[in-house]
Structure 1
Amino acid sequence: MALAQRSAPPDTEPSPPDEQQRLAAVRRYRTLDSSPDGGFDKIASLAARIFGVPMAMVTIVDSDRVWIKAAHGLKDAGEIGRDPGLCASAILHDQPYVVTDALTDPRTATNPLVHGPLGIRFYAAAAITTADGHRLGTVNVLDTRPRQPDADQLEALRDLASLVMDQLELRLSAMRTVASERRRRSDAERLARTLQRTLLPPALPTVPGLQAAAAYHTASADEVGGDFYDLFPLADGRWGFFLGDVCGKGADAAALTSLTRYTLRAAAIYDADPRTALANLDTVLKGEYQGSSPRFCTAVFGILDAEPDGSFTVTLAGGGHPPALAVRADGTVDSVSTTGGQLIGLLPDPRFVQARTRLAPGDALLLYTDGLTEARTQDGSMLGEEGLTAHLSGRRAQGADGLLASVHTLFTDLGTGVSDDTALLALSVPSPRNPSPAQENR
């Protein structure tokens, strides 16, 4: 669904009383006209998911326009006019701004998004507010039918707006640091690489009858990401594994990654049920960051159970994470979906969804973080699960290493379209004609 073209509104919204200082703050964060960013795309997607609506945006309100930094469910999203009723009005309010039915609400009477082809009927927004009180823009959700949001949804929208502000602060701090420390860039890069390595297992263990391989693709050499993975034995002879992505980057993300990895390992010692492990992590994150800005992650946790015929039963539970992909021996690709699983550490009572599959000889399982599927193709669209599935289809009996090599080729093809770090974990059962167990961590 495409946005209406930017137009000059017949009526204008009153500007905030501190408009000049607010605009100075907007320019301070250097977000206007910036390139697509996987982190903000993720927040827009999460907002849409929490409200169950088809559209969501992260916007910055300029002097005469609204710059769309990220959008979910909208095509050709770049900028719109600063028309009254929606984003331009939302920045006048500290509390969430809600229009339950835009056709009957006098505040939206002249907005082209309401009366134009898009036909917006519902709008809710939370302001992105700086520490000194300037409202830069909004995180907002939209629908083409009227809605009445509940208090938990609006509170989650405020949390997402706070996360956007946290990201803007972190990025501004990073820009200033890079500018002032340019001469020491090589040292900073070495430090980031060293810190990143401490957050990942140095090598994957050997699992009898299974090949395992992992890779970490960094989008920035001087910034520590928050993606993680692990594979480890359980006391009953089974094997546990997980892969996920924490919010943010830098030192805070590194601390959260470390806490998440060790919590999931510890949880599996007491109860290896995948959903229980994610629930324990959710409890720990909420306790650790109680009273501070929320910290959350997405993750998939799995159990490998060897069968007498040489196959493996895989039980997975997901919390807000992309589906795993099973690449079968005949070249077909199945989605092992945990759709409906919710974010870990953010929502009051999250739901985690479990799925099961079987890996027969010649089959492989790929787990990945959304830096891969949210990468941009040459036409500017996201790769998505469909694009990844299409790339992997027809690639038979290549094992865990071959599967990661195929994904590496995809990263090369995407080039600068990759804007976020990606962790990969591949597990495969050797086929009879290729029984060599090459377990390796890259």
Structure 2
Amino acid sequence: GMTIAAEVIPAAHYVGGDFFFVGDGANGTTVMAVGDVVGKGLSAVRRSAFTRTALASVAPFSDDPCQLLGWVNVALVERIGESSEFVTAACMTYEPRSRLLRLAAAGHHPALRLASGAELTAERTGVALGLAREVNCSASAHRLMDGDGVLLYTDGLTEARGERTRYGIDRLSALLRERAQLAPQDTLEMLKRDLRKFAGERLTDDVCLLVLRA
């Protein structure tokens, strides 16, 4: 089996374009993704909604997350044209019986393993969605152990500002290692509490978190 929890934490003073998607994929897989639309306000919200809808429409047709991102990119470019208002995204497919996880990224940073806080990278990270006709990515494959898990997140988390520093990947990785046994929803709540403690009301970018545990 598997457990998934996901949430978008809004920025303090504006609407952003972060989103997540969870849906049924091909060949018994579940498709999961997080994305971050460059820019703010209504245009970012519209692009976010379009990207998520495009992903929902193609999800049932492939268990290759890189192919899914490629199809979404075609939809974006055909609708809006190649644009500087691009979308970074990470997409995973997971098949619970074999515990096979496949990970692809388009202009997006690596996922993190819950147990170690270590980066989980795609075979080749493609360009962000909407920038060019081809994403040119390649997915990596990972076999999850029982209880193993993965965090997808947007950069509003690691780039959140505290009084003197940014939140950063080191703090995030250490926190995941310390609390490696938490259930996905508890992991989300723990990260939200720590982010609020660190950034207070200074959250200037929205944050999307998605946690999968095998």
Aligned partner of 2:148 in structure 1 is 363
Map residues 176-325 of structure 1 onto 2, 5 A cutoff. 209-220=1-12, 223-290=14-81, 294-307=84-97, 312-325=99-112
Tell me: CA distance 1:396–1:276, structure 2 relative to 1, closer, same or farther (3 Å): closer
Tell me: CA distance 1:364–1:271, structure 2 relative to 1, closer, same or farther (3 Å): closer
Q: State how far apart, in whole Å, the 2-side matches of 1:270 and 1:238 are.
A: 11
Are the aligned partners of 2:106 and 2:128 in contact in 1 as well (CA < 8 Å)? yes
Q: What's the offset of the Cα at 1:372?
A: 0.2
Are the aligned partners of 2:160 and 2:204 in contact in 1 as well (CA < 8 Å)? yes
Are the aligned partners of 2:24 and 2:60 in contact in 1 as well (CA < 8 Å)? no
Q: What's the offset of the Cα at 1:422?
A: 0.4
Q: Which residue identity lines up with residue 228 of structure 1 in the other structure?
A: F
Tell whether 2:184 aligns with 1:400. Answer: yes
Aligned partner of 1:150 in structure 2 is none
Which is greater in Rg?
A: 1
Q: Which residue identity lines up with residue 421 of structure 1 in the other structure?
A: D
Are the aligned partners of 1:362 and 1:399 in contact in 2 as well (CA < 8 Å)? no
RMSD: 2.0
Are the aligned partners of 1:319 and 1:353 in contact in 2 as well (CA < 8 Å)? no
Q: What's the offset of the Cα at 1:348?
A: 5.1
Q: State how far apart, in whole Å, the 2-side matches of 1:224 and 1:383 are.
A: 21
Q: State how far apart, in whole Å, the 2-side matches of 1:251 and 1:374 are.
A: 22
Q: State how far apart, in whole Å, the 1-side matches of 2:179 and 2:136 are.
A: 34
Find the residue that maps to 1:300 and give its secondary structure: strand
Aligned partner of 2:195 in structure 1 is 411
Aligned partner of 1:117 in structure 2 is none
Q: State how far apart, in whole Å, the 2-side matches of 1:355 and 1:386 are.
A: 23
Map residues 5-404 of structure 1 onto 2, 5 A cutoff. 209-220=1-12, 223-290=14-81, 294-307=84-97, 312-328=99-115, 332-338=116-122, 340-347=125-132, 349-380=134-165, 382-404=166-188
Are the aligned partners of 2:5 and 2:185 in contact in 1 as well (CA < 8 Å)? yes
Q: State how far apart, in whole Å, the 2-side matches of 1:224 and 1:349 are.
A: 29
Q: State how far apart, in whole Å, the 1-side matches of 2:202 and 2:171 are.
A: 14
Q: State how far apart, in whole Å, the 2-side matches of 1:298 and 1:241 are.
A: 14
Tell me: CA distance 1:355–1:235, structure 2 relative to 1, closer, same or farther (3 Å): closer
Q: What's the offset of the Cα at 1:269?
A: 2.7
Q: 5+ unaligned residues in a row in structure 2: which ranges?
A: none
Aligned partner of 1:423 in structure 2 is 208
Q: State how far apart, in whole Å, the 1-side matches of 2:133 and 2:183 are.
A: 40
Q: What's the offset of the Cα at 1:290?
A: 2.5
Find the residue that maps to 2:74 and give its secondary structure: helix
TM-score normalized by the length of structure 1: 0.45
Q: State how far apart, in whole Å, the 2-side matches of 1:396 and 1:257 are.
A: 31
Q: What's the offset of the Cα at 1:356?
A: 2.4
Find the residue that maps to 1:333 and give its secondary structure: coil
Are the aligned partners of 1:285 and 1:295 in contact in 2 as well (CA < 8 Å)? no
Find the residue that maps to 2:28 and give its secondary structure: coil
Q: What's the offset of the Cα at 1:275?
A: 1.0
Q: What's the offset of the Cα at 1:302?
A: 1.1
Are the aligned partners of 1:240 and 1:304 in contact in 2 as well (CA < 8 Å)? yes
Are the aligned partners of 2:27 and 2:63 in contact in 1 as well (CA < 8 Å)? no
Of all paired residues, the percent bearing the same amino acid is 32
TM-score normalized by the length of structure 2: 0.89
Paired positions, count:
212
Are the aligned partners of 1:364 and 1:399 in contact in 2 as well (CA < 8 Å)? no
Structure with higher RCO (Cα < 8 A, 6+ apart):
2
Aligned partner of 1:436 in structure 2 is none
